[in-house]
Chains A and B, each alone.
Chain A
Amino acid sequence: MDTAMKKLPPKPVNLKKRLLHWGVSIVTILLIVWSCTGIDFGGIKATAGQIAGAIFTGIFNPDWSYVYNGTGEDLVSQLWSTICIAFLGTFISALISLPFAFWAAHTRHKKWYVSRTGKIVLAIIRSFPEIVLALMFIKAVGPGSAAGVLALGFHSVGMLAKLFSEAIENLDDGPNEAVTAAGGSKVNIIMFATLPNLLPALISNTLYRFDVSIRSASILGLVGAGGIGYPLIIALQYRQWNRVGVILLGIILMVIVIDWISGWIRKRLV
C-alpha cells in the first residue's frame, strides 16, 4: 500500500488567527487567575451542610399549615400577590415601552442620532438596579406591592422597549407602502399596516417579559416591595429552614406553571 495515503495533508496555518486565539486565551486565563485573588474561600460557615440539609427537608416535607390558612399571610396568597405584581408591572411597562420603542428603532428615523440616543437611554434604564428603583418607589408610595408594581413597570421598559424596537426594525415596509399607494393617511398606515404586523411580536415579547417579571417580583420582596420575597427573607432571618424550603417549592412551582402557560400562548400566537 502506498504510504503517502496514510498521511493527512497538514492543516493550513493562519498565523494571524492563531496569534489572536492564543492572545485571547492567555488574557482569559489571566483574568480568571486574577479573580481568584483576594477572595476568601475559607470563610464558609461550619454549619453550611446542616442548613442546606434542613432547607431540602423543607422542600420535600412542606409545612402544610403555612401553605394555605386564609389569613392572607400564607404561601398561596403571597404567591398570588407576586403574580399580580408581575402582571400589572408588565402591563404598565408595555404601555410605556411603545413610544420608547419607536424612538429607538432606527428604521423610523432619517437621522442616526435619534435612534442612537433612544438606545442609550434604554441601556441606562436597563442597568439601573431594580432594587434601588423599588426603594425609591417605597419612599413615594410606601412599602407594599404597589412599590413593586411601579418598580417593575419602570425597570422592564429597558428590556421590553429594546425587544419592541427590534420587532419594529424587522418590520416589512411593503404593507406600509401599499397603504400609502392606495391613498391611506398616516393613521391608516398605523391601523392597517403597522399594527397588524407588529401585534403578534409585541404580545409574544410582553409574555416573555412576564416570565422574567415573575422572577423579579419574587425578588422585590427582599427590600419590602411586596410579594413572596418578604416572607422568604423573614424565614431566612429567623432560621426557619423548613419554611424556606416550602417557599422555595412554591416559587419553583409558580414559575414553572407560568412559564408553561405563557409558552403555550406564545406557541398559539405564532
Chain B
Amino acid sequence: MNSAKQADLMTLPKKKLKLLNLVWLLLFIAGLVVSTNVTKTSLGALFSNFGQFAEIFLQMLHPDWSYMPAVIPLLLETIKMAILGTVIGSVFAFIYALLIARNIVKNKVVTGVLRVIMNIIRTIPDLLLGAIFVAIVGIGPVAGILALAICTFGIVVKLFYEAIETIDPGPIEALTAVGANKLQIIFFAVLPQVMTYFISYCLYAFEINVRASTVLGYIGAGGIGLYLQETLQIFDYPKTGTIIIVIILVVVLIDYVSSKSREALME
C-alpha cells in the first residue's frame, strides 16, 4: 500500500455540508440577534448589577422561621385548591375524553369541533386564567380553583383521549356482537382498559397543580402566593425565603409521593 493511500485511509471521510442545515443555522442566528435587540438583553447589565441579585438571594437564604405559623394555614389552603382543582378538572376531562375518542364517538364532525375547543382551552397559561378568574369571580381561592380546574382539564383530556384511542378494539367488538349499548360498551370494554391511565394522569395533573397553585395567590387567586406578594412588596426577603423553602419542600414531597404512586399503579 503506498503512503498516499494510507494517509487517505487515516483521515475521516468528509461529511457533506447540507445546504438546508446552513439555512437553519442562519435562521437561528438571526433569531438570536433579533430577540436580543427586541428584549434589550445585555449580559453586561446583569453582571454589573449581579450584586443586587445576589444580595436578595443571600437574604432569602436566611429565612425567618418565626414566620412559619403564619404560613401554614395558607399552605393548607394551597393544597386544598390543588386537590379541588384536580378533582373538578378531571371529572370534566373524563366525560369530554370519551366524547372526543374516535373509537367511541364515530361522528367525525362532533369529535373534530370538540377537539378544536379542547386545543384552544389548552393554550391559555394557568396564571393568566387565574388573573382572568380573579376579575370575573373576585379575589379568593375560588378563582384559583377554577383556573386550576381548567388547566387540569386541558392536561388530562389530551392524555386520556389518546389512551382511549389506543386500546385493544377486541372487547368493544365482542360487546357490540352480543348487543351491548354504548354505555355498556364504555363500562365493560373501554374503562377497564384505561382506568389506571386515567388515575395516573390525574396524579400527574395534581403535581402540576401543586406547583401552579403556589404562585396563584400572587395575583389574588388564593393560597400561599398571597404572602409571597406581600413580603416581596415590603422587601422582607427573609420571610420570602421562608415561603419559598416551604413551597419547594411541599412541591418536592408531593412530586415524590405522586410519582411513586404512579409507578406503583402502572405495574
Whether chain B is bound by chain A comes out as: yes
B244 sits at the interface (CB 8 A): yes
Q: Select one of A39, A91, A244 contacting B84, CB under 8 A.
A: A39
B38 sits at the interface (CB 8 A): yes
B165 sits at the interface (CB 8 A): no
Interface residues of B in 96-138 (CB under 8 A from A): 119-120, 123-128, 131-132, 134-138
Q: Select one of A31, A45, A83, A218 contacting B128, CB under 8 A.
A: A218
- How big is the B interface, by class? 35 or more
Residues A84 and B35 in contact, CB atoms below 8 Å apart: yes
Residues A81 and B123 in contact, CB atoms below 8 Å apart: no
- Hey, which chain A residues are within 8 Å of B244, CB to CB? 128-129, 132
B184 sits at the interface (CB 8 A): no
B-contact 0/1 string along A2-15, CB 8 Å cutoff: 00000000000000
Residues A85 and B137 in contact, CB atoms below 8 Å apart: no
- Hey, which chain B residues are within 8 Å of A130, CB to CB? 215
A19 sits at the interface (CB 8 A): no
- Hey, which chain A residues are within 8 Å of B83, CB to CB? 31-32, 35
* In the bound complex, CA of A83 to CA of B39 (Å): 10
Query: Using a Cβ–Cβ cut-off of 8 Å, how many residues does chain A contribute to the interface with B?
Result: 65
Interface residues of B in 172-218 (CB under 8 A from A): 211, 214-215, 218
Interface residues of A in 88-102 (CB under 8 A from B): 88, 91
Residues A136 and B252 in contact, CB atoms below 8 Å apart: no
* In the bound complex, CA of A222 to CA of B218 (Å): 10
The chain A residue sitting closest to B139, CB to CB, is: A43
A148 and B39 in contact, given A32-B84, A128-B248, A137-B53 (Cβ under 8 angstroms): yes
A87 sits at the interface (CB 8 A): yes
A149 and B41 in contact, given A43-B140, A45-B136, A48-B136 (Cβ under 8 angstroms): yes
Residues B123 and A131 in contact, CB atoms below 8 Å apart: no
The chain A residue sitting closest to B252, CB to CB, is: A123
B150 sits at the interface (CB 8 A): no
Residues B132 and A252 in contact, CB atoms below 8 Å apart: no
* Stretch of A103-111, A170-178, A229-237 on the interface side: A229-237
- Hey, which chain B residues are within 8 Å of A248, CB to CB? 124, 128, 132
B65 sits at the interface (CB 8 A): no
- Hey, which chain B residues are within 8 Å of A149, CB to CB? 35, 39, 41
Using a CB–CB cutoff of 8 Å, the interface residues on chain B facing chain A are: 31-32, 34-36, 38-42, 45-46, 49-50, 52-53, 56-57, 77, 79-81, 83-84, 87, 119-120, 123-128, 131-132, 134-138, 140-142, 145, 211, 214-215, 218-219, 225, 228, 232, 240, 244, 247-248, 251-252, 255
Using a CB–CB cutoff of 8 Å, the interface residues on chain A facing chain B are: 31-32, 34-41, 43-45, 48, 51-52, 55, 80-81, 83-85, 87-88, 91, 123-124, 127-132, 135-137, 139-142, 144-146, 148-150, 215-216, 218-219, 222-223, 226, 229, 232-233, 236, 239, 244, 248, 251-252, 255-256, 259
17 contacts between A and B (CB under 8 A): A38-B80, A43-B138, A43-B140, A48-B136, A87-B32, A124-B248, A128-B248, A131-B127, A140-B53, A144-B40, A145-B41, A215-B125, A222-B219, A248-B128, A248-B132, A251-B125, A256-B119
